[in-house]
Amino acid sequence: MPWVTNGNTAPRATFLSSNWFLYEENGLIEIGLNVTWYQNAEVFDQHIEGYVLELTSSMASAWSSKWIVHATVPSESIRKYENMVFNYHGFYHNSSNFFRNGRTYFIQLFSMPVYNQDNAAIYDSCEIDVPDCINREMAESSVCIDNEVDDYDESYFDLDEPDPTTPPSDK
């Protein structure tokens, strides 16, 4: 987190929505996360240098990931009484199954600059519950398909067939 020790923390932004989605990459159906937030346009113009999205998973308390979103809008296009809406689609390229089914993801949104990390009023937060493979749409994801194959392979064996790795006995 880009903490600084002096100055004023930017006013916090507010989440509008958050959800999971499926997308295709290299022939695989992967899980992504989507968050949308807003900030008053005048506040954005005068105080905001960007945003930090911090993501943690319900399954790994020590694991977290952060994205810095640099946001710029020409001052002449800003109307001070309007809200500006921002959207981030969380894909994780080159890392298969980064987002997993059956987990809850916690997202914190910080407006930059951030000067006081111990103040809960400086961020907004949301949760995204990614369903298990029993969800019809989720069942089509690569994560669920891979789990089906893995479960089948691990549980399948024929007791009548000899193990090919065991040498024959001399009975």
- Which CATH number does the domain housing residue 47 bear? 2.60.40.2160
Q: What pLDDT sits at residue 49?
A: 86
Are 63 and 104 contacting, i.e. CB atoms less than 8 angstroms apart?
A: no
* Position 121 pLDDT exceeds 80: no
**Prior bond of 131 cis (ω within 30°):** no
Whether 103 maps to a domain, the answer reads: yes
pLDDT category at 128 given cuts 50, 70, 90 is very high
58: in domain: yes
Percentage with pLDDT > 90 across the chain: 22
**Cβ neighbours around 44 below 10 Å, total:** 24
| 3-state SS assignment for residue 84 | strand
Place of tokens 């911090």: 54
Token pair 């005068």 is found at 46
Residue 1 lies in a domain: no
* Token reading at 157: 């064996």
Beta strands in 28-168 (DSSP E): 28-40, 50-57, 60-69, 83-90, 104-112, 123-129
- Determine the pLDDT at residue 36: 94
pLDDT: is 115 or 35 the higher one?
Answer: 35
User: Who's near 40: CB < 8 A, 6+ residues apart?
Assistant: 11, 80, 81, 82, 83, 84
How many residues are given for the chain?
171
pLDDT, mean of residues 72-91: 82
Rounded Cα distance between 63 and 41, Å, is: 33
The torsion region of residue 66 among left (phi > 0), alpha (psi -120 to 50) and beta comes to beta
Position with higher pLDDT, 89 vs 3: 89
153 domain residue, yes or no = no
What's the pLDDT score for residue 59?
Answer: 73
Per-residue pLDDT band for 6 (boundaries 50, 70, 90) equals low
Q: Establish if 139 belongs to a structural domain.
A: no
- Residue 80, in any domain of the structure: yes
Is the model's pLDDT at 23 over the cut of 70? Answer: yes
Q: Domain total for the chain? A: 1
Provide the domain limits for residue 51: 14-131
User: Is 125 part of a structural domain of the chain?
Assistant: yes
Looking at residue 46, its pLDDT comes to 84
Residue 149 lies in a domain: no
